[in-house]
Amino acid sequence: MSEHVFLCGLSSGQRAEYQDGTALSLEPKAGNLKLKLDRMRKRLAGAEPQRLTDFVEIASYVFAADRNTSRGPLWDPGFGGEWRRSFLLVIAVRDLAFWRQPDVKETLHETLGFLSEDWWGFEFVENLDPVQLQDYLGLKEHEVDASGGTSIVLFSGGLDSLAGAVQELVHGNRHVVLVSHRNLPKVGDRQAKLAEGLGAAHKSRVTHVWVDNSLTSKLQDREVTQRTRSFFFTAMATVAAHIEKSDRIRFYENGVMSVNLPLATQAVGAKSSRSTHPRSLQLLNGVVKLVAEHSIDIDNPFIWKTKAEIISELAATSHAPLITISTSCTNSRIANRTYTHHCGACVQCLQRRISTLGGGAAELDEAECYEADFLTGPRKDGLDRVMAVESINLALDCADISDQHFVGRFAEPLSRVLQSHTSTERDAVSKKLIGLYRRHGLTVRTILDEAARLSDVLDRKLPPSSLLALVLASRLSDVNTASFETPQKLPEPLSELEIAAAPSNYIFIAIDHARHRILISNRSELHGRAIYPIMKLLIETAQKDRLEGLLPRNYRSFQAKEIANKLANPDAGAVTAAIKRARGDFAEADMALDGTQSDPNAIIESVPRKGYRLNPNVRVLKPEEYESR
């Protein structure tokens, strides 16, 4: 993994000390980054908040480095290795002694590592030409009623952030500062209309602030995932909180999207956003506590609500007509083309339509606003289609899932949620999370049940590439709808007698060929192009060795280079990295769920001088046997 070096805000003399690195600068005329927090109130007084100004610049440089460094192609042939990047940022700061503290650097490293799944290293040098915080602010006179306090609300213009702003205004008496990113004129216009509508109904209680952040023509936007976006917006929101003397920053997003269980089996971890994940907000809280001049808490009040539940509450208020103006589409935000309103193909559009149908607000979210009907319209082949089908399948799987199967299937992502809670809270949090996904699944099941007309199927009126047709086909147990190779037929795995006789602490494992995942009891599932083919090879080899009558000590092992060659990939290092990540996920899940330190060889065993193999104590089942345990 190559290291991407960025020299941030350094003088020409300081840059000369480094042989390589991309220069980043916020200088008004000579720089290659633009930053403005516009329409803030003129309330700055007293000494310059140097540490906070450093934080704003650090966040800007991090976000720019993220956007300027591609993760590689969507379908990474290198076991997902290219998706995880390594950064070293050399940054000029004002409060040099503070930023050089090991615990401060570790906090930045841990927070950004979790958000982006990249490695972040920092070196800090003295800022020889510092600017004032006011230079990044567009100020204006604006009288507000802040007698009840002030809330800072991240405001994308989507349904969740709109519902959050309404909740703050309707159920409280605070002044609400909406912080938006003005990245596209069309999206910015809709954000402004929503804010104007809220402001008209709640006089002197709404301030709309725009963050204008862009790369100049000297740099390129090479990466659309932008997993450090919430770090950047936390810094901007902290500035707003400083000016308004606010004690809280709120990210309003439904719990299903915040927790973001793995949707598509092809998606590696870095593709799954963690912007408002409970662990992310906990880590961001830690950063803010270090740099802010007064106490500020970051939270997500919608963490235990589904999107349909949120929209149901919004639709019952006088602000319901604003639903029509809101924008949720991912493609309308990042694509060169502009949609009439929503593309209808991305996962955000899918979740929006499910929530307005399930939340009783369909008449405020007309089907005509979508370029394609989300259920019955034909869908182009590609990542959006895969993600849509898998997100529906995930919801349907969770509609009637037992607590035990949920914990077994999603142990690793569940453990990440539990990390942000104390040990005494974890049982209750687990039940809340399971209930959240179960309610979401029941909403999706009801919508599909009402939409699936047998006559359309019999008369072949349903497009075969439509989401409804693809999901119906995928729910048939004997139909393999995935576009992967036909699996090699292997001898039968364990008998029912062997399964019944297995000790309770045995690990059971199964290959789900149709959905390209590995099921592992009491841990989680493994999926994606990084680890799935490796595990599939090790499992199938272990099955063959067992059926050939080999003693467990003689089961075959493979060096990383052998595995890479068998999978037609030249990068042996990527194999080692994928196995290391999987072992780390197992250990993280075990520690969070029951406080035990797992054996790294419990599933993927390292045999000295021979390589990797499936641990002979692991028992291989068919998927249907695994699900029935």
**Residues β-bridged to residue 180:** 210
Q: Binning pLDDT at 50, 70 and 90, where does residue 335 land?
A: very low
User: Considering the entire predicted model, what is its pTM?
Assistant: 0.81
- Residue 91: the pLDDT is 98
pLDDT of 371 above 90: no
Q: For the chain, how many helices (H) and strands (E)?
A: 23, 17
Q: Which of 56-65, 137-146, 586-595 has the lowest mean pLDDT?
A: 586-595
Mean pLDDT value across residues 320-337: 76
Higher-pLDDT residue of 571 and 281 is: 281
pLDDT of 268 above 70: no
As a whole number of angstroms, the distance between CA 568 and CA 340 comes to 44
Q: Binning pLDDT at 50, 70 and 90, where does residue 339 land?
A: very low
pLDDT of 271 above 80: no
pLDDT of 64 above 90: yes
As a whole number of angstroms, the distance between CA 348 and CA 343 comes to 10
Higher-pLDDT residue of 299 and 78 is: 299
Q: What 8-state DSSP symbol labels residue 568?
A: T
* Phi, psi (deg, nearest 5) at residue 372: -135, 140
Work out the number of other CB atoms within 10 angstroms of the CB of residue 221: 13
- Residue 60: the pLDDT is 97
Q: Binning pLDDT at 50, 70 and 90, where does residue 1 land?
A: low
Strands 175-181 and 297-299 turn out to be: unpaired
- Residue 577: the pLDDT is 86
- Residue 516: the pLDDT is 79
Q: Binning pLDDT at 50, 70 and 90, where does residue 558 land?
A: very high
Q: What 8-state DSSP symbol labels residue 606?
A: E
Q: Binning pLDDT at 50, 70 and 90, where does residue 499 land?
A: very low
Mean pLDDT value across residues 143-159: 95
Proportion of the chain above pLDDT 90, given as a percent = 55
What are the tokens at 95?
């409060």
As a whole number of angstroms, the distance between CA 489 and CA 600 comes to 30
Q: Binning pLDDT at 50, 70 and 90, where does residue 235 land?
A: very high
pLDDT tens for 7-59 read 999 999 999 999 889 999 999 888 999 999 998 888 765 667 999 999 999 99
Q: What 8-state DSSP symbol labels residue 421?
A: S
Show the beta-strand stretches assigned E in 267-328.
297-299
- Residue 329: the pLDDT is 85
Higher-pLDDT residue of 264 and 67 is: 67
As a whole number of angstroms, the distance between CA 239 and CA 241 comes to 5
pLDDT of 343 above 90: no
Q: Binning pLDDT at 50, 70 and 90, where does residue 228 land?
A: very high
- Residue 332: the pLDDT is 61
* Phi, psi (deg, nearest 5) at residue 358: -70, -25
As a whole number of angstroms, the distance between CA 47 and CA 494 comes to 72
Higher-pLDDT residue of 236 and 583 is: 236
pLDDT of 492 above 50: no
pLDDT of 417 above 80: yes
As a whole number of angstroms, the distance between CA 331 and CA 135 comes to 33
Q: In what order do the strands lie in the sheet with 3-8?
A: 22-24, 3-8, 86-93, 119-126
Place of tokens 């349907």: 396
Enter the CATH code of domain 496-628.
1.10.10.10
pLDDT of 290 above 90: yes
pLDDT tens for 185-216 read 788 899 999 999 999 999 999 999 999 888 88
- Residue 437: the pLDDT is 97
Provide the mean pLDDT of the chain: 86
pLDDT of 374 above 80: yes
Domain ranges of the chain: 3-135, 496-628
As a whole number of angstroms, the distance between CA 107 and CA 110 comes to 5
pLDDT of 318 above 90: yes
Query: Which among 268, 5, 248 is positioned nearest to 117, based on CA atoms?
Result: 268
- Residue 80: the pLDDT is 55
Q: Binning pLDDT at 50, 70 and 90, where does residue 269 land?
A: very low
pLDDT of 445 above 90: yes
Q: Binning pLDDT at 50, 70 and 90, where does residue 628 land?
A: low
Mean pLDDT value across residues 497-505: 47
- Residue 338: the pLDDT is 44
- Residue 2: the pLDDT is 73
- Residue 624: the pLDDT is 72
Q: How many residues in the chain?
A: 629
- Residue 501: the pLDDT is 46
